[in-house]
Amino acid sequence: MQFDTVIHGGTLVTSSDVARGDIGIRDGRIVAVAENLSGGDARIDAGGRLVMPGGIEAHAHIAQESSSGVMGADDYLSGSVAAAFGGNSSFIPFAAQHRGQSVDDVIATYDARAARSVIDYSYHLIITDPSEAVLQDQLPRAFARGITSFKVFMTYDMMNIGDGGMLDILSVARDHGAITMVHAENNDMVKWMNGRLARAGLVAPKYHAISRPELAEEEAINRAISLAKLVDAPLFIVHVSTAGGAAIVQREILAGTRLFAETCPQYLAFTRDDLDRPGMEGAKFVCSPPLRDAATQAALWQHVKSGTFTSVSSDHAPYRYDETGKFIKGRDIPYPQISNGMPGIAARLPYLFSEGVVKGRISLQQFVSLSSTNAARTFGMTDKGSLAPGMDADIAIWDPEATRVMSLQDQHDNMDYTPFEGLELTGLPETVMTRGALITHKGRLIAKEGQGKFVPRAPMRLLGDGYLAKERDPAQNFGAQI
C-alpha cells in the first residue's frame, strides 16, 4: 500500500484502546492502522510518544465581538495557531448574531474571518434575535450548510432571549437535528446581586464572584433542561461551574435526558481567591460564570472522572490586560465594566493531560474522549475524533514525559498574559496534523495561513424514545397537535 506519511512506533490511544502501532496516511485520511507499516513518502518516528486523535476545541471565541462591541484579541490566524500548539487539529468557535442582524450576514462575516485558520473549523451560531425570519428561513439555511449547533443565553440583557425564545429555538433545532448550547445563569438574580453590590460600593474585581451566585447557575440549568424536555430537544450546557449544576446534569443524564455538558480548566484550576489578587490583577480572572471555591473544584473533578461531562473546553475569550481588552472602559473601573473572559485555548489540553492523566484522575482513553472524540460525535464532525481507517488524519503526537513550566510564550496567542503562568506541567503536544498535513512539529509552526477548511457537520441522530411531556402527547392532551 502507498502512503504519503507513516507515523511509526508510537502508542496509539483512542477513546477505547491503548496499543502499540503504526498509522498510514494517504490523501489526508487514515488508510491503515497496523502493528508495522513499511514505506511512506514521509515517516514520523513516534517512539516513546502517544499518538492520539487531534483535540477538537468546542468552545472558543475567535475574532468575535462581545455584546458590548469589544473585539477579542485572537483572530482566526493567531487563534488557530494557538489551538494547534495546544494539541488541537480543529475547532468550533462561535459566530455571533447581533440583534437585528441576519444569520446569513453573520455566517458571511465569519466565513471571511475564518479564512485565515490553519486548522479545520466550523461555527456554533449564537442567536440573540430569534425573529420569525431567523427561525423559519435563516436557521434552516444554516443547517443546510452544515452548521448544526447554536448557543443561546439566559443572561445578559443584550443576549438573553427569554424562555419563550429558547423554546422556539429548541424546537426548530429539534426539527433539523441541531443541538442547542446554553449559557445558563438566571439574569434577574445576577442583576439583583449587582444592584446590591453597587449600592454598597463593592466594586473590586473579587465582587464579580459574589455577583453571579451558584444558585443562579443551578436554577438556570434546571430551567433550561425543563424547556428542552418540553420539546424533547438535545441540549448542551456550556461552562458548568458549580457542584450543584453538575449534579443536576448527572441526574438527568442518568435518567436518559438528551443532555450534554462541559466544564472548563479555569473552574478546575482557579478559585475566587484569584479574583482577589493585588491591585487590578483580579481582572485577569474575570469570566462568567465566575470562579468558585476549592470544594467546587474537587466536585467538578469528580464529575470529570465519572463521566458527567462530554468535554472539557477552554472557553477561550481573550481580552488583553490593557486598554484594548480588560480595561477598554478605563483602568480604574468597577468589576461589571471589566471585559469578561479568560484565555486558554493552548492551555486546555496540556492542563487536562498533566492534572488529569499524569496525576491519575482520568485514563488516557478518557483524555481522548474529553478532548476530541465526544466533541466530534456530539457536534457532527463525523470524519474526526478517531484513529480508525477512513477518518481524517487529524492527529496529535504527545511526549507524555516532557516537563515544562507554563508561560505566555508557549501559548502562541495574541495575549499579554496567561492565567496559567507558572504551572508545572508534564506532557507536551509535539506534533499536530490536520488532514495529514503538519500544522506544528517540535515547537515549529509548519502550516500556512488559510490551510484550514470549513467542516460541514452532520445533524444529530436522536436515539431512544426521548421525552414526551404529557401535555404534548396526543394520547393524553385531548388530541391537540402541538
- State which amino acid sits at residue 284: K
Task: Decide which of ligand DUC, Zn ion, none touches 340; Cβ closer than 5 to 8 Å per partner kind.
Answer: ligand DUC
Question: Does 217 participate in binding Zn ion (rule CB under 5 A)?
Answer: no
Q: Which is nearer to ligand DUC, 21 or 93 (CB)?
A: 93
Tally: H helices and E strands in the chain? 14, 18
Q: What share of the chain is helix, strand, coil (3-state, %, to 5)?
A: 35, 20, 45
Question: Does 189 participate in binding ligand DUC (rule CB under 6 A)?
Answer: no
Strands 235-237 and 259-263: parallel
Q: What is the largest CA-CA distance in the chain?
A: 73
Question: Does 272 participate in binding Zn ion (rule CB under 5 A)?
Answer: no
Residues in the chain: 482
Question: Does 183 participate in binding ligand DUC (rule CB under 6 A)?
Answer: yes
Instruction: Name which of residues 308 to 337 contact Zn ion (CB under 5 A).
Output: 315
Q: Select the residue whose beta carbon is closest to Zn ion and give its number.
A: 183
Q: Cβ(239)–Cβ(266) under 8 Å?
A: no
Distance CA 101, CA 118 (A): 28
- Return the residue of 238, 300, 387, 391 that touches ligand DUC, per CB under 6 A: 238
Closest contact distance (angstroms) between CB of 212 and Zn ion is 11
Q: Which is nearer to ligand DUC, 97 or 386 (CB)?
A: 97
- Which single residue is written with the C-alpha cell 478532548? 371
- Give the three-class secondary structure for 225: helix
**Binding range to Zn ion, per CB under 5 A, among 160-168, 177-185, 219-227, 368-376:** 177-185
- Return the residue of 49, 113, 183, 412 that touches Zn ion, per CB under 5 A: 183
Q: Cβ(432)–Cβ(88) under 8 Å?
A: yes
Closest contact distance (angstroms) between CB of 164 and Zn ion is 20
Burial of 453 (0-12, 13-18, 19+ CB in 10 A): middle
Backbone angles phi, psi at 230, to 5 degrees: -60, -30
Number of residues that bind ligand DUC (CB under 6 A): 9
Closest contact distance (angstroms) between CB of 339 and ligand DUC is 9
Question: Does 239 participate in binding ligand DUC (rule CB under 6 A)?
Answer: yes
Closest contact distance (angstroms) between CB of 271 and Zn ion is 19
| CA–CA distances in Å: residue 107 to residues 82, 101, 217, 376, 452 | 23, 11, 30, 21, 17
Roughly how many angstroms between the first and final C-alpha of the chain, as a whole number?
A: 57
Q: Which is nearer to ligand DUC, 190 or 393 (CB)?
A: 190
151 CB-near residues (< 8 Å, 6+ apart): 94, 124, 125, 126, 127, 180, 181, 182, 183, 238
Q: Which is nearer to ligand DUC, 288 or 310 (CB)?
A: 288
- Per-residue x/- marks for ligand DUC, 54-73, CB under 6 A? -------x------------
Closest contact distance (angstroms) between CB of 256 and ligand DUC is 27
Closest contact distance (angstroms) between CB of 241 and ligand DUC is 11
Question: Does 288 participate in binding ligand DUC (rule CB under 6 A)?
Answer: yes
Q: Which is nearer to ligand DUC, 339 or 369 (CB)?
A: 339
Give the start-end residues of each E strand in 323-473. Answer: 395-405, 424-434, 437-441, 444-445
Which residues of the chain form contacts with ligand DUC (CB under 6 A)? 61, 183, 238-239, 288, 315, 317, 340-341
Which residues of the chain form contacts with Zn ion (CB under 5 A)? 183, 315
